[in-house]
Amino acid sequence: MMTKRVKEILSHYAGENPGVLSNLARMMMSGRLAGTGKFVILPVDQGFEHGPARSFAINPPAYDPAYHFQLALDAGCNAYAAPLGFIEAGAAEFAGAIPLILKLNDHDLLHDEKDPLSAQTASVKDALRLGASAIGFTIYPGSANAQIMYQELRELALEAKSHGLAVVVWSYPRGSDISKEGETAIDVVAYAAQIAAQLGANIIKVKAPSAHIELADAKKAYLAAKVPIETLPDRIRHVIQSSFNGKRIVIFSGGATVGDEQLLTEIKGIHEGGGFGSIVGRNSFQRPHDKAVELLGKIMSIYAS
């Protein structure tokens, strides 16, 4: 049953057509968190983004595309996100079982990249053919190639929405002018979330921010306004505020595999700060199936509390 909270979130997207709204609703009404307005999504593009051994060697069943559809289903995720090949390999077998997010661009680590640029690896037509609810697209704000990705996203978002598909944007600051520490700096992450929102993202995905401030002019503003950024919940709150004052769904990435306790502590911080949820890849499929289902269950319980 459609809940008040889901209706409230949808009301923030009144500018979108009924197809987009239905697909956003579908993701919010699927899985164990259905109706809460919270999200736990399984993303498995790491085979492309990081390489197969780095991604799957630790848990060999994960080389199989069907494994991830089943894992997302068993855990009760709101959606499963992957590049064309993985989605094509399982979309028929799992048709209608779980909302899908087809990633339309990807990049690999086979050449040195100071200023990353993802290639378009699938189309809106592919997303429709495969029954996806949304397209996924990565931008790298801070890359010398960022403008190309912004313009590609503009075109693809327009096309996707015109067919009633929702738009999910992975916004990862990275590039020759940003320090490693700066990639997760609070000012930079908030800026990346804002850029994604301005580009029309319905759902924004960023990394959990640190208390570091990268840009000198931003630092002045944070200090002058005394923006609280000391704790993780403070910083999450600031990123949510920077995404149209809570009117855009913002979810946070799980990151490299860590122990259960460390991950759950971070999730509690995200929840406390008003985050809409998590997208947890490596911390899911790099654990044995049952351990992953158990951990995702704990994450969902935090978001449902």
Contact footprint for ligand FBP (CB under 6 A): 43, 45-46, 49, 170, 172, 253-255, 279-283
The closest residue (CB) to ligand FBP is: 281
Tokens of 249: 């769904």
CB 245 within 8 A of CB 193: no
Shortest spacing between CB 283 and ligand FBP, in angstroms: 6
Tell me which residue of 215, 152, 151, 161 sits closest to 183, measured CA to CA.
Answer: 215
Measured from the CB atom, the residue of 254 and 273 that comes closer to ligand FBP is 254
219 catalytic residue (yes or no)? no
Active-site residue, selected from the candidate residues 205, 219, 226, 268? 205
Shortest spacing between CB 215 and ligand FBP, in angstroms: 20
Shortest spacing between CB 138 and ligand FBP, in angstroms: 8
Determine the Cα–Cα distance for residues 295 and 305; give it in Å rounded to an integer.
16
User: Residues near 46 by Cβ (< 8 Å), separated by ≥ 6?
Assistant: 54, 55, 281, 282
Measured from the CB atom, the residue of 46 and 59 that comes closer to ligand FBP is 46
Tell me which residue of 80, 118, 116 sits closest to 98, measured CA to CA.
Answer: 80
Task: Report angle CA 49, 198, 205 to the nearest 5 degrees.
Answer: 35
CA distances from 65 to 15, 56, 90 (A): 36, 11, 7
Measured from the CB atom, the residue of 273 and 281 that comes closer to ligand FBP is 281
Shortest spacing between CB 43 and ligand FBP, in angstroms: 4
Determine the Cα–Cα distance for residues 160 and 157; give it in Å rounded to an integer.
5
Measured from the CB atom, the residue of 82 and 227 that comes closer to ligand FBP is 82
Catalytic residues, by residue number, are 205
